[in-house]
Amino acid sequence: MLYEGDFNEKIGFINEAIVINKNLNSQWSLGENYNNMGKQYFYAKQYGNALQALQKAYEVASSINAKELICDNYEYLSWVYEALGDYNNAYKCLMQLYTLSKDLQSGSKLRIVEQEISHKRYQNQQRKAEIREQTYEIELLKRNLFILMVVFISLAVLSIFLYKWYKRKKNMQLMVARYNLEQSEHELAELKVRQQELELKSVQNALDNSRQEATSFAVFLHSRNELLEKIREMIKQGYKMDQQTLIPHLKKVNAFISQYQNGDKSNSTLLMNVEEKNQEFLQRLSERHPNLTQGEKYLATLLRVNLSTKEISMLTGNVPKTINMNRYRLRKSLNLSSEEDLTDYLQNI
């Protein structure tokens, strides 16, 4: 058969026949050559080359009105279009083949039979092609639906897994962060409590020391006042003595005074220590109440260490009535109401 054997060798023979028929101007043979070339390309599944060869065959056959060649040309074209899936043009070619074959019925009954067989064959091939195409489309649709369903289910499962994993991870991070925050807050609270305890202890110690020093100083002043009172009594006694007994008496008074001179020096040092420790308090008091007198500031310092009126009286040498009057004036200068405690207010500055 035409399409059996080496394809390139067959095409080469057909090209040689075309050259010979062109030189001989044999149009009929030339049309057959192009039809055979198109048929050979068809069996080689080179459908583009097949269409070009059949187009040349049609042009040659039409030029000499070779209806038999044209019929063959339509038949081969229908094969090519069917193979390409262009059923519309395949159908047109078969209809043209059918129409042209009618014109040739009177000349050849065999041609009519071949035409009918070709038509039926085309119909059968068309039906088979349609069935194959529909089957292929159904199978492709099933496969695509299956793949789509598998992908969708996989994505859904993966999304659920990732969501749970992400949520669990976030919960764990949140729990760790809360735990760390609670630990930090707990440690910070402990540090603040310790710091407050240390500050409170330091302030309390300072207040106790100041109070103790001020109290000791007040006791010392009280003792000094008693000493002065005793010296005054001894001097009064000297007024009543004669000159002979007065000199030994004065020596006794002088010795008594010398005994307590060192106490006066300690007294000055103690007072300086009290003033130095209350220097910061006096600075804050001056910033808040700049119009206070030195006497009011000194009284505020003594009240801050929680000295009583009697102790302040002993310390300053003033009577309690004067101390109370000074307390009233200090309260007024500080703009305190009657409900506010003066000592608490000074200790909180």
Residue of 340, 324, 323, 335 whose CA lies nearest to 290: 335
If one counts the domains in the chain, the total is 2
pLDDT, tens digit, for every residue of 199-240?
A: 878 766 665 565 555 545 554 554 566 677 788 788 888 778
- The pLDDT, as a whole number, for residue 99 is 87
Task: Map tokens 């109370």 to a residue.
Answer: 324
- Confirm whether 119 is domain-assigned: no
- Confirm whether 309 is domain-assigned: yes
- Confirm whether 276 is domain-assigned: yes
Domain boundary among 63, 85, 104: 104
- Confirm whether 13 is domain-assigned: yes
- Confirm whether 147 is domain-assigned: no
**Can you give the residue range of the structural domain that contains 14?**
7-104
Same domain, 219 and 341: yes
Whether 44 has a pLDDT exceeding 80, the answer reads yes
Whether 20 has a pLDDT exceeding 50, the answer reads yes
- The pLDDT, as a whole number, for residue 1 is 44
pLDDT, tens digit, for every residue of 247-296?
A: 887 778 777 776 665 555 555 555 556 556 678 889 999 999 999 999 99
- Taking the C-alpha atoms of residue 213 and residue 223, their distance in angstroms, rounded to an integer, is 15
Domain boundary among 45, 69, 104: 104
Same domain, 211 and 96: no
- Confirm whether 316 is domain-assigned: yes
- The pLDDT, as a whole number, for residue 33 is 92
Same domain, 218 and 328: yes
pLDDT, tens digit, for every residue of 123-145?
A: 888 888 889 889 999 999 999 99
Tokens of 143: 């496969």
pLDDT, tens digit, for every residue of 80-118?
A: 999 999 999 999 999 998 888 887 765 555 555 565 777
- Taking the C-alpha atoms of residue 330 and residue 347, their distance in angstroms, rounded to an integer, is 15
Domain boundary among 71, 104, 137: 104
pLDDT, tens digit, for every residue of 147-189?
A: 999 999 999 999 999 999 999 999 999 899 898 998 988 888 8
